[in-house]
């Protein structure tokens, strides 16, 4: 299996090199990432529970998909690729905002990412990859925010930060 690399960036999201993914997370180096938020026609967000066996944050709830673009791949192309790989569907997406965050995770890893957040719309039934996802559901934003307040440990760090950024910016929830 080929070693997966991430694109290292500066705080302006300018590419400065590449590095093996696990090494970048061990050394807490800033790299490009993306998160996809998918909404149905009712305005509910599709969230999923990461497979227990994931290399970090296993069993935690998060957005429809997230990952890192590959060298030579745009973040939007990567968003479409990962929607198919993780959730078994694709839909139109548009970038809505970006942010930088740094968070210590389990397994001695640190996420330090320049995260591009895309919104998409989908009303169908996902066909998730069981290596990536162990459960999924559509949830209202109000219910989601209430649940994050009551059980913050049940959600990924980047998802909690992105939800706060989305709320602070009053970003329209419609894709």
| Position 59 in a domain | yes
Q: 18: domain CATH number?
A: 3.90.79.10
- Tell me, what's the pLDDT at 130? 94
In a domain? residue 173? no
- Which residues have a catalytic role annotated? 66, 113
For the segment 99-103, the average pLDDT, to the nearest whole number, is 93
Number of domains in the chain: 1
Q: Which residues, at least 6 apart from 164, have a Cβ–Cβ distance to it below 8 Å?
A: none
With residue 137 as reference, give the H or E element that holds it: strand 133-139
- Separation between Cα atoms, residue 63 and residue 111, nearest integer Å: 16
Residue 175: inside a domain: no
Q: How confident is the model at residue 1 (pLDDT cuts 50, 70, 90)?
A: very low
pLDDT at 48: 95
Over residues 22-42, the mean pLDDT reads: 95
Q: How far apart are CA 145 and CA 160, in angstroms?
A: 9
Q: Does the pLDDT of residue 134 top 60, yes or no?
A: yes
Q: Is residue 174 part of a domain?
A: no
Full-model pTM: 0.90
Domain span including residue 147: 5-168
The answer to the question of residue 27 being in a domain is yes
Indicate if the pLDDT at residue 165 is higher than 90.
no
Is the distance from CB of 63 to CB of 122 less than 8 angstroms? no
């Amino acid at each position: 299996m080929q070693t997966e690399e991430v694109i290292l960036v500066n705080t302006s999201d300018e590419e400065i090199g590449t590095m093996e993914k696990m090494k970048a997370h061990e050394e807490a180096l800033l790299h490009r990432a993306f998160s996809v938020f998918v909404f149905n026609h009712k305005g509910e967000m599709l969230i999923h529970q990461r497979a227990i066996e994931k290399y970090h944050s296993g069993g935690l709830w998060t957005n429809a998909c997230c990952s890192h673009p590959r060298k030579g791949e745009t973040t939007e192309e990567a968003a479409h690729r990962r929607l198919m790989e993780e959730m078994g569907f694709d839909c139109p997406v548009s970038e809505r905002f970006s942010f930088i965050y740094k968070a210590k995770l389990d397994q001695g890893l640190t996420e330090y990412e320049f995260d591009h957040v895309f919104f998409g719309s989908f009303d169908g039934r996902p066909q998730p990859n069981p290596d990536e996802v162990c459960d999924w559901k559509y949830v209202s934003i109000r219910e989601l925010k209430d649940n994050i307040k009551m059980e913050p440990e049940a959600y990924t760090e980047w998802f909690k930060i992105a939800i706060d950024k989305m709320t602070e910016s009053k970003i329209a929830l419609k894709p």
